[in-house]
Amino acid sequence: MPETMEALLDPGRPIKHVDRKSLYTRLEARINYLQDFLDFNSADVEALQTGSKYIKALIPAVVNIVYKKLLEVDITARAFHTRNTADETPIEDFYNEESPQILRRKMFLRWYLTKLCSDPTQTEFWRYLNKVGMMHTAQERMHPLNIEYIHMGACLGFIQDIFTEALMSHPRLPLPRKVALVRAIGKIIWIQNDLIAKWRIRDGEEFADEMSQMTLDEREGFLNDKKILGDSSTSASSSDDDRSSVASGPSIAPSVAPSNVSACPFADLVVHPKDKNSGSSSETKIWAGK
């Protein structure tokens, strides 16, 4: 048995203390706990930094697939008219994928998915994901938007599934890099899922009066008067091996070293040269022509 596994199973291994109250009153504590539990570490950050161009290449197709799905059923399609999935007002003429309102929503989804490819060691990254959760709960004053959690969770799961299939079927990426990217983006999406659910569930409600109050910026794509979606910093393409250093400043950096215990069981597989450029027979159409 590997020493690392023995260390994990050691009955004398100290148990970390997690302050329950801080999980509900301090966003940083909540993010640190989730990162630690999910083993979101420096290897995941590196995978996102060096592989972000592959994720960004998928975003236009992902956005179109997601909106096609959202417009398939009335309960989600209606929300683009009513801004509330609980509102069952009959709609005679639903928007289609080319409606100006939907094209605008597609633009914001593209920016949001691009934001997921930015620096997850920065506090701003997680604060924006937290705002995404809040802004879908009708808590904005001027233009309340209420998208019930079942639809938000389903949409995130749908997006993750598209990314997983597309990245794993990339015709040229080595398997270890595919796995690293899928794991990293999956952890980001699941933390986003928690930051959506936290605004809906009643856990920790006894600390409601002490929960951190975030400054609400009514403008979409802004956080505390700072534009963080749609600018050049979030839409610029990254190099395949962009290992630029993490910017200084307030951060919530993964504190967990890469774990050997959770290493992919396929890590020792060799990608033969003749297989590198050949696509699978089940290759997703997203990569067609790449």
- 63-75 tens-digit pLDDT: 999 999 999 999 9
In a domain, 19, yes or no: no
Provide the total of helices (H) and of strands (E) in the chain, helices listed first.
12, 2
* pLDDT the model gives residue 217: 55
262: domain CATH number is 1.10.490.10
In a domain, 259, yes or no: yes
Q: Which residues contact 24 (CB under 8 A, 6 or more apart)?
A: 30, 198, 203, 204, 207, 211
pLDDT at 196 over 90: yes
In a domain, 219, yes or no: yes
126 vs 143: CA distance, rounded Å:
23
Q: What is the pTM of this model?
A: 0.74
In a domain, 16, yes or no: no
In a domain, 22, yes or no: no
| 232 SS3 class | helix
φ, ψ of residue 130 to 5 degrees: the values are: -65, -40
Which domain does 46 fall in, by range?
27-232+252-287
Contact 166, 284 (CB under 8 A): yes
| 178 SS3 class | helix
pLDDT at 153 over 70: yes
pLDDT band at 42 (very low <50, low <70, confident <90, very high): very high
pLDDT tens by residue, 74-102? 999 999 999 999 999 999 999 999 999 99
pLDDT tens by residue, 214-267? 555 555 566 555 656 565 444 434 344 433 333 334 456 665 455 444 333 333
φ, ψ of residue 17 to 5 degrees: the values are: -95, 135
Contact 108, 221 (CB under 8 A): yes
In a domain, 3, yes or no: no
In a domain, 183, yes or no: yes
DSSP readout, 76-103? Answer: HHTHHHHSBTT-----SS---TTSHHHH
What's the number of domains the chain is made of?
1
User: How many CB atoms lie under 10 A from the CB of residue 122?
Assistant: 18
In a domain, 77, yes or no: yes
Segment 6-11 shows an average pLDDT of 68
* pLDDT the model gives residue 21: 94
* pLDDT the model gives residue 55: 96
